[in-house]
Structure 1
């Protein structure tokens, strides 16, 4: 949020207990992203960058 990278987690359980972050399901390649609450009266964007900043 606010152009701050989200924390990468190694598994879904760790992400579930965090306020925000992301992880990649190794079996499917799907990326799950969790953010803090955002208002629906304004737009928001998530940018995925392969090989970008790490943890």
Structure 2
């Protein structure tokens, strides 16, 4: 038996090389989840501080 050439290999046997696979290879899933959570909480805190200044400015 002769070895298979690259053209004779079955399609779909290698790992997916899509955008998500390349993205997951660079950034772990946990890092992405923490980043989104920190951004959300950071914006929520900034809104709260902004709200305190707006409400405090109206009371003077």
TM-score (norm. length: structure 1): 0.17
Q: More relative contact order in 1 or in 2 (CA 8 Å, sep 6+)?
A: 1
More helix by share: 2
TM-score (norm. length: structure 2): 0.16
